[in-house]
Amino acid sequence: MTTLELVLNMLAEATTTEISRQRAPETFAENMAVAREGGEVAGIARKAAEERTGVPVITSKNAARLNTVVSGMIEAVIADSPSDETKGKK
C-alpha cells in the first residue's frame, strides 16, 4: 500500500469510530450503516485526490510488501541504535 492508501484507510477508520461514538449504534444494521458512512468519507477524499493529481490512488502494492519494508526500516534503526549496556557511557 502507498502512504496515501494507508492514510485514506486510517481516515475511514477514524471517521467510522467518530460516527459510532456520536450515534452509539446498537444493532448490526446500524453498525453497518456507520461503517459505510465512514468508508464513504474516505471514498470522497480518494476521488478528490485522484481528480487533482490525475493518478489513481489504489495501486497493486499490497500490505505484505509494505510490512517487509517497514520491518526492514525498524530493524535498521535497532541495529544502528546503541544497546542498553552502552547507553550513557562515553
Residue 70: its H or E element: helix 63-80
The stretch 13-35 carries a mean pLDDT of: 95
In a domain, 25, yes or no: yes
Domain residues for 57?
Answer: 3-80
On whether residue 70 sits in a domain, the answer given is yes
Q: Is residue 85 part of a domain?
A: no
Alpha carbons 75 and 33: distance in angstroms, whole number: 41
Is the CB of residue 3 less than 8 Å from the CB of residue 63?
A: no
Instruction: Give CA–CA dist 2/7, Å, rounded.
Output: 9
Which DSSP symbol is given to 56? Answer: -
90 domain residue, yes or no: no
20: buried, middle or exposed (CB in 10 Å: 19+, 13-18, 0-12)?
middle
Check whether 41 has a pLDDT greater than 60: yes
- Is 88 contained in some domain? no
Residue 13 has pLDDT above 90, yes or no: yes
Q: Is residue 73 part of a domain?
A: yes
* 74 in any annotated domain: yes
pLDDT digits (tens, 9 = 90+) for 65-89: 666 767 777 887 888 777 655 555 5
Instruction: With cut-offs at 50, 70 and 90, classify the pLDDT of residue 62.
Output: low
- Let me know if residue 66 belongs to a domain: yes
pLDDT at 85: 57
The number of domains in the chain is: 1
